[in-house]
């Protein structure tokens, strides 16, 4: 486990130092540093490895289950956006109040969809008890909150 952590840390250091000046000074908006979202995901994984300090097999199971869940949540976010786009169209068409019934139906659909999404998130967190001991499970839950909070704070600074 230590070797994996050291390897990932070294890899991140090499990647981050190679991207110290993306674009090589040739164009203000040229992004040669790679996908920022992938880097953020890598950082999150490294911090999670540090926080949980799990065996390699357990960590792989966790990352696999987590990746599957994140994919499902991305699909659900896309579906939620589609529902909201439909709601927005109904609002635009509702000049005389004739679409109020459809708008109410769309609001109810969105509410049910979000309830299902929250239930799926709850099930995912609960399913981690199959992989993690209670302390690691709690650390994971706290890590998720704290990591998102750190990101939000970083974005507020800029």
Q: How does pLDDT run across 17-36, given as a tens digit for each residue?
A: 555 555 444 555 555 667 88
pLDDT tens profile 81-97: 999 999 999 999 998 98
Confidence of residue 37 (pLDDT cuts 50, 70, 90): confident
pTM: 0.71
Q: What share of the chain is helix, strand, coil (3-state, %, to 5)?
A: 85, 0, 15
Is pLDDT at 52 greater than 90 in this prediction? yes
Q: Measured at the alpha carbon of residue 15, what is the angle toward residues 14 and 16, in degrees to the nearest 5?
A: 95
Q: Tokens at residue 142, please?
A: 């706290």
């Amino acid at each position: 486990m230590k070797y994996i952590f050291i390897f990932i840390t070294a890899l991140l250091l090499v990647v981050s130092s190679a991207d110290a000046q993306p674009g090589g000074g040739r164009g203000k908006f040229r992004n040669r540093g790679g996908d920022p979202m992938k880097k953020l995901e890598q950082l999150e994984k490294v911090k999670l490895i540090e926080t949980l300090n799990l065996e390699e097999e357990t960590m792989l199971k966790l990352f696999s289950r987590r990746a599957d869940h994140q994919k499902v949540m991305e699909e659900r976010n896309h579906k939620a956006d589609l529902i909201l786009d439909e709601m927005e169209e109904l609002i635009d068409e509702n000049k005389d109040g004739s679409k109020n019934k459809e708008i109410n139906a769309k609001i109810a659909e969105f509410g049910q969809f979000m309830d299902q999404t929250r239930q799926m998130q709850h099930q995912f967190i609960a399913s981690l008890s199959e992989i993690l001991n209670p302390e690691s499970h709690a650390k994971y839950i706290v890590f998720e909150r704290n990591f998102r909070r750190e990101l939000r704070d970083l974005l507020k600074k800029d």
